[in-house]
Every structure is written in structure tokens, then in C-alpha cells.
Amino acid sequence: MSTLAALTPNTTTPTQEIKLAGTGFLSGAVVVYTSSVHTSTDSAPTVIDSEEIRSIVPDVLQGEAGIVQVSVQNPAEAESNQVPLFIGAWPPVDEVFPLCSISQVKQAMGVSPQETVDDIKYTEAIRHASAQLIGETKFTFDLELHTETYDGDGSTILRLKRFPILDVLALAIDGESIDVQELSQPLDDIIAFDSSEEGEYHPRLRTSAGRTFPSGRANIVVTYSAGYSKVPSWLNVAAISQVSFLLNTINKQGVVNEGNNTMGVQTSFAQLPLCPEARRAVIRHMPQKVAIV
């Protein structure tokens, strides 16, 4: 029976080629992709030699996001062990950026959908507002897979760089693999999510039953998926508010004050790059001071 060791890359999209590394691969082997919905097989991969196979990720996985387990099956043999592959193709990236749509902006501003004369202006404002929010937070909102190494500090909490945490695929402490399949059993001596909102997790892992992340240099390795598959409602509202702010102040950007000589009036303008709603969203997603080794 063959043994599968690694996938390169381990994050990809359907219809893309991946390299499978392992041992015992035979001519006629197939690659099996098992998701939470169904199982699909690449029946004609390219077997380079006994240690390498090239496979095209089936396009049937286009409608799924998350983890797919990949294995190899030689003719007349049982399947190999499974190695996780992260599929990040669905929903598509354009659902995460830009952070709002023209129709949402028009509705918020009371503009009829049939009025299209300013659509180019709206589009540019949407892209600018989205870039502002992402630039200020220095945060990538897309759903992605990360493998990171941390220093243990002897506590029961490991603070991660990315969030929200959606799934933990692998965790090793001082070289010992922790069975993350037990995550759903919080009473056991395992790693557990620390959640404050239903369906959304803080960027940290919490141990239970006395286990700690022991002090050490680069002794914690964790592989996890984090990010958003679609724009969360609070971020969507912040982007819409920022677009409206930009459109309403477009002629005042960079102006500190101006005067009306006829009326004798002097007007000052606040130089704020973000509206209050957008500023609250940025503060919520300001990156933690977490060092990745």
C-alpha cells in the first residue's frame, strides 16, 4: 500500500495541478478527493515515479470551501493515508473584495437602481473604501490556510496571528502531534476553541484539563484555516458608510478650512481618513502583537 506524505501546494483551487509526494506509487494509481459532501477521483493522474504524482484537482469541488482529504489508491490495493488539502476557491475572492456592492451603496444613499450615470464613480469609491479598510487593518479577509510556528509561554492560551479561526488541521507541541480530531470533545485533555460569538472565534487556542503550551523557542507548530468566505455584515456596513463618506467629502479631501469672503464665514474640516463606522471596524480588526517565529 502506498503512503502519502505531502501536497504541494497545500492550498489551491479546483482545476489546478498539485504534486503528491510519498512512497509506493504504482502505474495506474488514482487520486481520491474526499470532502464533507462527496468523494471525487482523478482517475488519470500523472505518475512520475514511485515517489511523485501530479494530479488536477477536480472541478466538481468548485462549489466547496474548506478542507478536502486527499489519498492515493494503487490498483488492487487499499487507499493510502489521507493528507488535507485546503480549497479556497468558493465563494470567489470577489465576494470578499470589494467589501460592498453598487446596489447596496445606491440603496443606502437613496439612489434608484435605474440611475446608472454615476456607476463608475460609485465603483471607484467602493474600491477605494475597501482598500482603505484593508490597508488600515493590515488584515487579509480572504479564507486561507496558514502553518505557523510560535514560542510557548507556559500558559494555557496560544494567541494566533490570523482570525477568525475556522478550523485547526494540525498542532504539534515540542514535536508531539496533538489529535485535533478531538476538538469537539472539550472535556478531554485536548485543544479547544475559545469563542465569544456564535460562529466566530477569537485568534487563540485554549487548552483544557491541565495541558499547557510549555515555554520554549519555536516549540509550537499549528496549521489552521482563518478568514471570511464572504463579507461579514458589520464590515459590509462599514464599507458602505465609508463609500458614502468619500462621496460626500470628495471635494473636501485635503482641505483644512475655507472661507466665504462675501458672507464672512470660515469653515473648518476634520481631516479623518475614515468615517466613525469604518474606524470602529478597523479597531476591531487591528492586528494583535503576536510574533510568528
Mean pLDDT, range 249-273, rounded to an integer: 52
Q: Which residue has the higher pLDDT, 134 or 205?
A: 134
Mean pLDDT of 160-179: 81
Report the percent of the chain where pLDDT is more than 90. Answer: 23
> Is 239 or 234 the better-scoring residue by pLDDT?
239
Mean pLDDT of the chain: 76
* Separation in Å, CA 238 to CA 108, 130, 234, 243: 12, 9, 6, 9
Binning pLDDT at 50, 70 and 90, where does residue 25 land?
Answer: very high
**Global pTM value:** 0.50
Residue 245, judged by CB atoms within 10 A of its CB (0-12, 13-18, 19+), counts as buried
Q: For residue 74, what pLDDT band results from cuts at 50, 70 and 90?
A: very high
Between residues 151 and 272, which one has the greater pLDDT? Answer: 151
What does the alpha-carbon distance between residue 244 and residue 273 come to, in Å, rounded to a whole number?
13
Which of 202, 147, 120 minimizes the C-alpha distance to 7?
A: 147
At residue 46, the pLDDT reads 95
From CA 170, how far away is CA 192, in angstroms rounded? 13
Comparison of pLDDT for 293 and 68, the residue scoring more? 68
Q: Is it the case that residue 9 has pLDDT exceeding 80?
A: yes
Judge contact between 66 and 87, C-beta under 8 A.
Answer: yes
Do residues 137 and 287 lie in contact, with contact meaning Cβ atoms separated by under 8 Å?
yes
The C-alpha atoms of residue 221 and residue 219 are separated, in whole angstroms, by 7
Lowest mean pLDDT among 60-74, 75-89, 221-235, 244-258: 244-258
C-beta separation of 66 from 14 below 8 A: no
Lowest mean pLDDT among 10-19, 145-154, 202-211: 202-211
Is the pLDDT at 131 greater than 90? The verdict is: no
- pLDDT category of residue 287 using cuts at 50, 70 and 90: low
Q: Flag the least confident range among 86-100, 127-141, 150-164.
A: 86-100
